[in-house]
Amino acid sequence: MTRSTTRAGFTLIEVLLTLLIMSGILLTVTQILSAARTSRDSIHNIQEQMLAGPAILQRIENDLRALYAFDRDARDVLRVENRVLAGFEADSLDFVCTTDGLMPHRERANEDYRRADVNEVGYCLRPNPAFDDFLELYRREDFGVDDQPFEGGQYAFLHDRVKGFEIRVYDEDGVDAEPREGWGDDSGEHVGFPARLEIELTLELAPRLVREQIVVTRHTVTYKRVFRFPPSMRAAQELAAVPIVPRLTPPVVDTGNQNPNAPGGGPGGGPGGGPGGGPGGTATQTSTAGFGDPAGGGR
């Protein structure tokens, strides 16, 4: 007796159809991953090109808008130094502002960290120790204000691919105005508030990412920001209002004539019969204090 056996399996058409479906799925996944990688590279490059320079200039502008000059010597308001490092423009900027401290400070190790409401702030550059083709940009901040507002403090790193940081200072506004070489020097000729500042920051873009590979383009971008000081600030600086605390003098009491035998003397003598005696029998008490009065100690 012959027994027939049935063998189960896939036909050639079924195998080819399965391979076709799997190929379509793998192709779709590959396209999605490639699009995600391209988007990531684009975001990286946009962040480097669009955010680094403007963010630094916006930080500088925020500090300049909070510039503090009340009851300060005009020579200590703002200082701009024209400097050159490694063949690049490397100007420095220093002033005092009311921007809340960005770097916590404490005097002793066992004390809590504090932030000052008024700080010494500056922007300067240093040579890049890793690459001779670039400079490093730092923000200086000193807790509070001391006798040397343009020195000392802590330095916060901002950027390491700087190819130029130029600051032009104008003592008058207008298209025909000529920039000054510096501002706030010891000569006292150009001190206080200028009319405007022009800041140019030149950065070389970091190596780009293209298909997960670093591509060096050597492409530089120059960002420019113009900051004008309001005329009211310059006028207030010229007035040079200085706050003072008035000195109070003790009261002066006029006791009159204390002789009981004199006319109008005695406890109630005279027509006025007052306790102080004298013609009117009155006691006078005077207290003067204030600004501009010699008795009050004003100036």
Question: Over the range 287-298, which residues count as b (16 or more CB within 10 Å of their CB) and which as e?
Answer: eeeeeeeeeebe
Greater confidence (168 vs 291) lies with: 168
User: Residues of the chain with pLDDT > 70: what percent?
Assistant: 73
pLDDT number for residue 185 = 77
List the one residue out of 250, 223, 193, 189 whose CA is nearest residue 50.
223
Residue 204 has, within 13 A of its CA and on its CB side, a CA count of 16
Alpha-carbon distance of 197 to 225, in angstroms, equals 8
Please give the structure tokens belonging to residue 180. Answer: 């000054």
List the one residue out of 47, 49, 57 whose CA is nearest residue 205.
49
Contact predicate 222/56, CB 8 Å: no
State the average pLDDT over residues 260-281: 47
pLDDT band at 250 (very low <50, low <70, confident <90, very high): confident
pTM of the full predicted structure?
Answer: 0.65
Residue 248 makes CB contacts below 8 A (sequence gap 6+) with 287, 289, 296, 297
Domain boundaries, the chain: 61-104+115-239
Please give the structure tokens belonging to residue 90. Answer: 């490397």
Angle at 145 between CA 142 and CA 148, to 5 degrees: 85
pLDDT digits (tens, 9 = 90+) for 52-99: 889 999 999 999 999 988 888 888 899 999 999 989 999 999 999 998
pLDDT band at 296 (very low <50, low <70, confident <90, very high): very low
pLDDT digits (tens, 9 = 90+) for 124-136: 999 999 888 899 9
Alpha-carbon distance of 182 to 191, in angstroms, equals 10
Alpha-carbon distance of 39 to 48, in angstroms, equals 14
